[in-house]
Amino acid sequence: MKNPLNEYIEKQKNESPSPFFVKRIVLNINEIEKQEERRLKTTLWRSIVVAASFAAVVMMGVALGNSYQTKTPEQDVLLIDDRYMEHLYIFQNTKATTNE
């Protein structure tokens, strides 16, 4: 008497696999490879966009910094000769108040 389990195993070994099974396996492998390619491309593009954004922000910062002009010390100097300085109330629209 043979063991029924051994008979079943031998029967399965002798059967040829379905051609559709092999095709499904190959399609699954190809799909996995395509997904890996897409992931690599996405990662590459994302890295490029981040680097370009960083460079653009740095360049705008430099341009903004260069557009800001500070006063030179020569512009801040005001020479006043107090002997010839007129009273400021002359330049105002109001009368000067005097002590009465």
What confidence tens digit (pLDDT) does each residue in 41-93 have? 899 899 999 999 999 999 999 998 888 776 665 555 566 666 666 666 566 65
Distances in Å between the Cα of 33 and the Cα atoms of 26, 28, 47, 60, 100 are: 11, 9, 21, 41, 101
User: Where do runs of H (alpha helix) occur along the chain?
Assistant: 4-14, 19-67, 73-76
Q: What is the pTM of this model?
A: 0.41
pLDDT at 54 (0 to 100)? 97
**Side chain identity, residue 87:** H
